[in-house]
Chain A
Amino acid sequence: DTGSQPVASTATAPQQIHITSQRLTSDTANNQAEFIGNVRATQGETQITADSLKIFFSEKSGATDASPAQSMEKLVATGNVEIKFDNRLAVARQAVYITAKRVLILTGPGATVTSGDNIITGETITFYREDGRFTVEGGRNGQVKATILPEEAGLE
């Protein structure tokens, strides 16, 4: 199933990402860093909480030896994942965010996205943040459940 909802994309300069946790393991050789324990990452209105948050970096193109820059390529949040974004709440066992494509993939039995009174539940929910589109997969014997409350009076 796919669905899409208009997303008000306001072109503002991206704010800083603020991350707190109990521990952090940084693996410079493999361009990875993992925040562990009560992880909270916030950027403006968007907030991710999870047991751990692993960030995969890539060396920015055009980076030189003198000023090497790393940029975030992928974020993987694992364990009790809750993501608040665009007035929505996503809950899952794991969430993967591909920064270049701005795609958020929620996995784990009972992955759920709630928007107001509308709720979608499935095995895998893929959310395309650029255009607000999302797909829901029920998994082998799992079901896709969607509760969509129309705003107007509907059939009456």
Chain B
Amino acid sequence: MTSRRLIQRLLLAVVVVSLIAIVTVFIGYRRATHDPEMLMDLIQKKADMHLDKVRQTASKNGIREWHMEAQSATLLEKEKIMQLVKPDVEFFMEDGDNVFLTADHGAIHTNSNRITVSGRVSANNRLYRFKTETLDYDPEHRELRADTPVVLSGESFTLRADRMAMNLDTRITHFEGGVEGIISEDLQL
């Protein structure tokens, strides 16, 4: 007898739990359909903050390092990263010959002002323009680094290489791997 009663109680408990679960899901679904922003918030909470038309300037010891504008940005609080769409960055140089950089995507590491960009990366200053696929700005060494093939062109030359590291302070740039330059100048060796 007691085992039959036990089974009955067990069945009853399962039915009650199932009912509660169904009701909870139903209520949640109803709220979601009535209040979609709440759903967006839930998504954004993971992304923390979504911003349009972003502007940011970074300085070190009172000297402006770079100024960035982007079509939109998504701030990931936990990862301390701001993801950018269509970043447009100006790196300030001591002699005023600033470097202007654009790309499809980018990310700023908010705890270090480091910037990484990718997708049709293009940068130029007074003397030349260079294009690559990915570029990394290391604020500590004030260096732009490309680990993807880079093509650089000026008024009378073009150059390609597998990798590049450009120091914005010393204005010394190292190109590595398959370096090929073409100089078009009114000059006969």
Contact = CB atoms under 8 A, between A and B. Distances in A.
Interface string A56-74: 0000000001011111100
A72 B187 CA distance: 8
Contacts of A46: 189
A83 to B, nearest CB: 9
10 contacts: A16-B182, A17-B185, A18-B180, A24-B161, A25-B173, A25-B175, A29-B170, A48-B189, A67-B155, A69-B156
Interface residues of B, number: 27
A26 B173 contact: yes
B177 A71 contact: no
Interface of A: 14, 16-29, 35, 41, 43, 46, 48, 65, 67-72, 75, 85, 97, 99, 102
B127 interface: yes
Given A17-B185, A24-B159, A29-B172, 10 more contacts: A14-B188, A18-B181, A19-B183, A22-B179, A23-B174, A28-B173, A35-B179, A65-B126, A68-B127, A71-B187
A26 B185 contact: no
A17 B184 CA distance: 6
Interface in B18-42: none
Interface in B147-171: 154-156, 159, 161, 170-171
Contact of A16 (B161, B172, B183): B183
Nearest to A45: B189
Contacts of A35: 179, 181
B79 interface: no
Contacts of A16: 182-184
A9 to B, nearest CB: 9
Contact of A28 (B127, B185, B188): B127
- What is the predominant secondary structure among interface residues of chain A facing chain B? strand
Contacts of B189: 17, 41, 43, 46, 48, 75, 85, 97
Contact of B183 (A17, A26, A27, A65): A17
A19 B155 contact: no
B149 to A, nearest CB: 14
Contact of A70 (B127, B175, B177, B181): B127
B184 A24 contact: no
A48 B184 CA distance: 17
A94 B116 CA distance: 42
Q: Which 4 A-B pairs have the closest CB atoms?
A: A29-B171, A24-B175, A17-B183, A28-B171
A17 B181 CA distance: 8
B126 A68 contact: yes
A69 B181 contact: no
Contacts of B155: 67-70
Contacts of A23: 174-177, 179
B156 A25 contact: no
Contacts of B181: 18-20, 24, 35
B15 to A, nearest CB: 76
A119 to B, nearest CB: 22
A75 to B, nearest CB: 8
Contact of B175 (A14, A26, A28, A97): A26
